[in-house]
Amino acid sequence: MEKRDAVAAGLMLPIMEAFYTIQGEGAFTGHAAYFIRLGGCDVGCVWCDVKDSWEASKWPVQSIEEIVAEAKRFPGRKVVITGGEPLMYDLNPLTKLLKSEGFVAHIETSGAHPFSGDFDWVCFSPKKFKQPHPSIYEVANELKVVVFHKSDFEFAEKHANLVNSSCKLLLQPEWSKASVFTSQIVDYVKNHPNWNISLQTHKFMDIP
């Protein structure tokens, strides 16, 4: 099979980096996890903290067997698939293999492409720059909205009305605007206690 066809089938994937660290954000903050960062994103967030990931062709393609073999070198059994935008790829083969090897699979996604894969936890972080695909709303376990502008509170409520009723609701300050928005987020959560705060704790700890 040609590499291009293997990528289209989700049997090979462009890997920007993979690292064992502590989940810094969201409901699983503080948990050890192996991160697999796929190359390629067409969403274009102005404040994206991993813009290097956007160009898929910059990153070497690996087979899902190689990817999972690397993950097995570490003691943790939580894997977080991120990017880039991981839903640009068919994630069924990778997640099936991870499950068969005893891993728990999480995803970090903007939801801008059709959902694929067998995930135990779906972190959905919608973006104004590219509309989410409707398939994400019923599978999202956490809605994590990055606050970069005051209009993002309204954007967050709009998506909270679309996700399933068991989805956790989280507001995360955009890193460079945290000094401006953290106090507004604190006030917002005190007045709207169905929302929680998510911080990028790995950046405070200076770990990957």
Ligand X SMILES: Nc1nc2[nH]cc(C(=O)O)c2c(=O)[nH]1
Q: Please enumerate, by residue number, every residue annotated as part of a binding site for [4Fe-4S] cluster.
A: 41, 45, 48
Return the one option of ligand SF4, ligand SAM, ligand X, none that residue 141 interacts with (CB less than 5 to 8 A, by type): none
**Using CA atoms, how far apart are residues 14 and 119, in angstroms rounded to an integer?**
20
DSSP states of 20-44: EEE--SGGGTT-EEEEEEE----S-
Residues 181-200 close enough to bind ligand SAM by CB under 6 A:
200
Minimum distance, C-beta of residue 103 to ligand SAM, in the bound complex (Å): 19
In this chain, which stretch among 65-73, 97-105, 152-160, 170-178 interacts with ligand SAM, using CB under 6 A? 170-178
Minimum distance, C-beta of residue 147 to ligand SAM, in the bound complex (Å): 9
Q: Does 106 bind ligand SAM (CB under 6 A)?
A: no
Return the one option of ligand X, ligand SAM, ligand SF4, none that residue 56 interacts with (CB less than 5 to 8 A, by type): none
Yes or no: say if 109 and 86 are a contact pair by the CB < 8 Å rule. yes
Q: What are phi and psi of 85, to 5 degrees?
A: -110, 105
Contact with ligand X (CB under 6 A) among 108, 142, 152, 174: 108
Cα angle vertex 145, ends 56, 178, to 5°? Answer: 95
Tokens representing 26 are: 């969201």
Residues in binding site for S-adenosyl-L-methionine: 47-49, 84, 125-127
Contact with ligand SAM (CB under 6 A) among 85, 90, 142, 152: 85
DSSP states of 164-192: -TT-EEEEEE-GGGHHHHHHHHHHHHHHS
β pairing state of 142-147 and 121-124: parallel
Contact with ligand SAM (CB under 6 A) among 15, 41, 140, 143: 41
Contact with ligand SF4 (CB under 6 A) among 36, 38, 43, 156: 43
Tokens representing 8 are: 């289209």
Nearer to ligand SF4 by Cβ, of 38 and 97: the residue is 38
In this chain, which stretch among 19-27, 130-138, 167-175, 191-199 interacts with ligand X, using CB under 6 A? 19-27
What CA–CA distances, in Å, run from 8 to 1, 11, 40, 57, 96?
Answer: 11, 8, 13, 14, 16
Binding site for ligand X (CB under 6 A): 21-25, 35, 82, 108, 202, 208
